[in-house]
Structure 1
């Protein structure tokens, strides 16, 4: 393999040694075998870090751009990056590195015109009955996860991060989707296997969220799953309770000290959006855009 310069690399040698065994191998695969794994994967990361068009990838560093794109498209569709992240999370949990006081929030990314010259946001993408058998993260959502919001055509990234701001789960939707309406899907994506016998861990100790998640439905669901809710009441909810006096009932428990830790999810968004290809969405397909978000999450954990 031709060595790529340090300015083109994202993974250190130690980080690459951890994920290389988790990537698909050549064994048992028909057709042209996978080659130069690191060169191609570094090309994928470089494209999203810089936000350049696929055709402008430096050929002398990463080879033909078509190879890099096709590998990314394949890995996005077959869930390769989700499996890598799951394994990295399992190793982190076994080492006691995950703080299970989980913060949730969403951030908006403007959709570039190159991402929107396809199916319109209010149209279906043709996800048929067969797609219902696939995991949510491997299905192209309606409108390719692009919707109309105040900022125009946008995509929204919903994240759940641990208490130290490292991502555990990701959902990509249209920018018009309500944050609270997607919370159940985000929590359902948390899946951290245990190294030995026993079921995978899927339940946080607490969910820390802002007022966008302050609904009775969400509080009831968290209570049903025995998850502590650290969510402040909306101002209109407080006022309505005060107007009713003793009939308004008790306000929900709120741990103000724990809520101060919610900023870790905002800090992670700021970190992830240093990748220009994430801050602005150029991908036509939501699954390829989400796969890049997952690569950024993997790197975050490897650096930890």
Structure 2
């Protein structure tokens, strides 16, 4: 292989691989054939996600049989390997005081390619959360495969919670028709950062920063009940309704305008995600493997 083609396919530096390799399953005690050339396979997964090519079109001379790359990705998505790797990296950063717990939340919609949509789907789906508990694939894959019908046709929605520097803390995939605000609690449940050295995992942000799509009384009350600072502006119709009631309308909710300026970090996180073509357009039939690409992107962000 020429040095030029190798530089194109070597998507991980030696330093990145040194951080990632210990987080992947060990071959020790594993039945059957041991994993070989794990770095080559993981780089194949990243290369495919970045370029958006069909799995069958992966260059064999660079990454080996495409079936091996695909099966490894599906295995790691289904058994929670990618989620545990992401959680461990966040835990290490938190132990070093490197996590900004002013959390920004938002969602972005993605068009589903025809290759992803030739499956049976109910009208509604519950979305695909993380797989921290090592559940079987059929228990974490949503009935609708995370594909719904919205104005853009058949679409998927990615819900993100990111720290103050735009690095993902939680990733949830649903159908494109799902309401952003209705999914907030589901996204916050996915924030679970283990403590290095033992103790209860951290699940509570210092603040939640979100746009007007999340401006609902039930959301504000739920966050306040957990002691989380709410940085969400009111909708214009909510302001008008409150003023119309006069004194009975109560006081307007406070808004930390300085903190709200930091909300754009979640928008920038989506922009980075969509540099990977297989995230910007959904080609995967399974929601869990599509989401796994976003989790893998998040792992590289934390590394």
Q: Same fold judged by TM-score > 0.5?
A: yes
In the TM superposition, structure 1's runs of 4+ consecutive aligned residues that sit over 6 Å from their partners are 135-138
Deviation at residue 27 of structure 1 after TM alignment: 1.5
Matched residue SS, 1:187: helix
1:79 corresponds to: 80
- 1:212 is aligned to 213
Q: Which residue of 2 aligns with 1:251?
A: 252
Q: Distance in 1 between matches of 2:13 and 2:84?
A: 20
Cα 1:123–1:268 change in 2 (3 A) is closer
1:203 matches 2:204: yes
For residue 61 of structure 1, what is the aligned residue in structure 2?
62
Kept in 1: contact 2:231–2:256 (CA 8 A)? yes
Q: Deviations over 1:190-228 (max 9, x none)?
A: 111111232111100000000010011111110111100
Structure-1-length-normalised TM-score: 0.93
Q: Provide structure 2 residue ranges, at least 5 long, that are not aligned to the other structure.
A: none
Q: How does 1:275-294 map to 2 (within 5 A)?
A: 275-294=276-295
Farther-moved stretch of structure 1 (252-261 vs 277-286)? 252-261
* 1:133 CA displacement: 9.3
Q: Which residue of 2 aligns with 1:70?
A: 71
* Residues 242-297 of structure 1: CA deviation (Å, up to 9, x unaligned): 11111110011111111000000001100110000000000000000011100000
> Between Structure 1 and Structure 2, how many residues are aligned?
297
1:109-156 CA-partner distances (Å, limit 9, x unpaired) = 10000000011242779x9xxxx9949996001210000011100000
Provide the C-alpha distance between the structure 2 equivalents of 1:258 and 1:137, rounded to a whole number of angstroms: 41
CA gap 1:29/1:82 in 2 versus in 1, 3 angstroms: same
Alignment gaps of 5+ in structure 1: none
Aligned residue for 2:143? 142
Contact 2:104 2:163 survives alignment (8 Å): yes
Per the normalisation by structure 2, the TM-score is 0.93
Rounded Cα–Cα distance in structure 2 between residues aligned with 1:91 and 1:110: 35
The Cα of 1:46 is off from its aligned counterpart by: 0.3
Alignment match, 1:260: 261
Mapped partners of 1:225, 1:135: distance in 2: 31
Q: Distance in 2 between the 1:136 and 1:34 partners?
A: 21
Q: 1:278 to 1:22 in 2, by over 3 A?
A: same
Does structure 2 conserve the Cα–Cα contact (< 8 Å) formed by 1:121 and 1:144?
Answer: no
Distance in 1 between residues matched to 2:150 and 2:205, nearest whole Å? 31
Query: Is the 8 Å Cα contact of residues 77 and 138 (structure 1) preserved in structure 2?
Result: no
| Distance in 2 of aligned mates of 1:55 and 1:27 | 30
Displacement, 1:82?
0.3
* Coordinate RMSD, CA, aligned: 2.2
